[in-house]
Each structure stands twice: as C-alpha cells, then as structure tokens.
Amino acid sequence: MVSYIGVRRIREIVQRVGLGQVLRGMAEAIEADFARWPEFEKVARIASHSAQGVIELMPASDGRRYAFKYVNGHPANTARRLLTVTAFGVLADVDTGYPLLLSEMTFATALRTAATSALVARRLARPGAGSMAMVGNGAQAEFQVLAFREIVGISEFRLVDPDAAATAKLVANMRTMGFAPGAARVCAATEEAVRGADIVTTATAAKRRAAVLTPGMVEPGMHLNAVGGDCPGKTELDPGILLRPDVRVFVEYEPQTRIEGDIQQLPADFPVTELWRVLAGLAAGREHADQVTVFDSVGFALEDYSALRYVHELALERDIGEDVALVPPGANPKDLFGRIAAPGALRAVQEAA
C-alpha cells in the first residue's frame, strides 16, 4: 500500500504541527539535503510550454529515495477562478522502485518555496535585517511573509501589488496569523515599498520580460529574493541590477537558472554561486555589509525531494494519511494478469483465441 496525503491530510498536518513549525522544519530539511548536494542525481526540470503557461516534471534522487513533482504554472487561470500553480508529487524507494508516498504539492510547493527563500535570506541578508518589501501579493505572499517572520525574524513588511484586492487579502490573512498591528504597511508604488528595506521579495506571476525592480531602486546592503522569474521569457529584475559591481548572484542549480531565471538575460559566462556551496561551507555568502545579494530563485527538484521527505516523516510520526492500492497486490509476482482478471476471465480469453 502507498501512503496518500491529499489536501485534507496536508491541512491536518499543518494544523497539528503548526504552520510556523512546518516552515522551520521544511527549511531544516532543505538545508540538510542541499548540504549533501553531490549525493543527488540532478537534472533541470522537463517543461512543456504553451501560450497559456507551462507544465513541468521535476525529478531528483539520492540513490535511496527518488522523488518527482508534476507542477503547472498558468498565470491567466485567476481569470477563470483557478489557481495559477497546482502540483502533486511522489516519493519512491529506489531499491524496489515502489512508491512510498503520493502527495498533494500545491500547498507543499508554496511552503517549500517560502522556506527556501527564508533559509537563503538568513544566510545572505545583512545581520539585524528587520524589514522586507513584498512586491506581488498573490498566492505565494502569505507563505513568504510568515516564513520571513518565523525563520529570519522580519517584523516590518511593505506590501505592493497593482491588484488592491490581492493586497487587502494579504493584510487580512496577516491579521489571522497574529502579525503585530502595524507590521504590514500598504504602499502605492514599488519605489515606496523598497525604499530603505533590508530585503526585497518579488513574487509576480505575469509570464513576460518584466523589470519589477530597476537599478535605481536597489540600495547598498539589500538582499533581493527574486521568486517570480521562473521560466524562459519571464523575468522580474532589470538586467542592470545584476550587472552592478556591488551585486553577487546566488542560484539553486545553475544549468536550470541559466534557462529560466533572471540571469537568462545575461551572457552564459556571467558569474553565479550555487546555493549548496554556501550551505556546505564551501563558498562565502555575503562578503560585506554594503554588498547587494540576489537569490535568483526558480525552484529546483531537490527542494521538492526535501518537502516530500519531510511530509512523509511527519505523516508517519503522527499516523496521518490514507493507504491507497496504487500498486497491485498479489502473491505471485509473475502473474500480473491474475491480479486483475475476474474468475473465468482467462478461460474466456483462451476460448476466444
């Protein structure tokens, strides 16, 4: 039997463990797996693009467990009252090839993306960072602000989005999450939101070459967490930002980010540092207080491996989940037909022949 964690069960896990603790635990799982980066088979995600969006498969394995995620990104879905991103994933045992877990990953992807963002900012933002501009207040925004509060200690958030309803939704949800009064400040323009911020997170959905941030908005010592530029032809940062001499760019998996990240705008030899090297202690993070650090985040399969592994562990510890017969049971491994055929079915086939 395979353990199944659907939407109802992932909500049960979050409610029993606590959303803040789930984010912290997921960040710890991601950090631990990135630190053993050389153990993993890695490949850029397999993408099928259309005019409406993209459907992707994201696999990763450490030789003991294999994981993959199916995920879509369709920005126009909101006009149909559908989610922009949906996902599910599988965790399997490499020795047998048998699946261990089938899980929803729409929620889990939002959680792992926010956990990764905050984990990286904890390493790269300047010490004592207390303020963050949240540029783009859609489906990912609540997860981001909560992760930055829980993992980085951010207490002041400047919110900006051309859709006033999205920002109002975020403000209302922040109240239910127990943010202090005044923690959220609604801004009329991006320039206002980023001015003086220690961290700037961009999480926009439009599939186009955009310059949500321009060089004049970026101040010494900022950490930029660019989340939304995650497929070919989709960017958030003006290339002039990345070319500034005080900027250092960090990525998850360089071959994938060259295709999908904001660095797709730059020459192939533009220098970047892979995140795992920082987490493993092989490369420096922030080098001085005035340096501008950029996390060009596109989302990588290893993060999904970590998320599935962590969800599986939580589900087993708390006996949450449902057993589903995703693999046919039976005593004789060579008699697959007998596992599906009704009594007399084999005889009928023989007579027909």
Question: Model confidence over 68-117: pLDDT tens digits?
Answer: 999 999 989 999 999 999 999 999 999 999 999 999 999 999 999 999 99
Q: Nearest Cα to 86, choosing from 97, 99, 77?
A: 77
2-107+303-339: CATH topology: ornithine cyclodeaminase, domain 1 (3.30.1780)
Question: What separation in angstroms does the CA of 190 have from each of 217, 235, 353?
Answer: 9, 16, 73
Instruction: Check: pTM over 0.85? Answer yes or no.
Output: yes
On the question of a common fold for 2-107+303-339 and 125-300, the answer reads no
Question: Model confidence over 2-32: pLDDT tens digits?
Answer: 999 999 999 999 999 999 999 999 999 999 9
Q: Nearest Cα to 15, choosing from 7, 174, 154, 181?
A: 7
One-letter amino acid identity for 114? A
Instruction: Determine which of 123-132, 184-193, 227-236, 307-316 has the lowest per-residue pLDDT on average.
Output: 227-236
Q: Which residue has the higher pLDDT, 349 or 192?
A: 192
For this structure, is 230 an active site residue?
Answer: yes
Q: List residues bridging with 134 in a β-sheet.
A: 159, 201
Which pLDDT score, from 0 to 100, does residue 349 have? Answer: 47
CA atoms within 13 A on the CB side of 32: 12
Which pLDDT score, from 0 to 100, does residue 137 have? Answer: 97
The model's confidence at residue 351, banded by pLDDT at 50, 70 and 90, is low
Question: Model confidence over 250-306: pLDDT tens digits?
Answer: 999 999 999 999 999 999 999 999 999 999 999 999 999 999 999 999 999 999 999
Q: At CA 127, angle to CA 125 and CA 130, rounded to 5?
A: 80
CA atoms within 13 A on the CB side of 65: 17
Annotated catalytic residue, options 230, 238, 262, 296: 230
Other C-beta atoms closer than 10 Å to the C-beta of 340 total: 9
Tokens of 123: 């390493």
Question: Model confidence over 119-171: pLDDT tens digits?
Answer: 999 999 999 999 999 999 999 999 999 999 999 999 999 999 999 999 999 99
Give the CATH number of domain 125-300; options: 3.40.50.1970, 3.30.465.10, 3.20.20.70, 3.40.50.720.
Answer: 3.40.50.720
Cα–Cα distance measured from residue 258 to residue 241, given in angstroms and rounded to the nearest whole number? 16
Q: Beta strands 223-226 and 292-296: pairing type?
A: parallel
Which pLDDT score, from 0 to 100, does residue 209 have? Answer: 84
Domain ranges of the chain: 2-107+303-339, 125-300
Tokens of 294: 């950029």
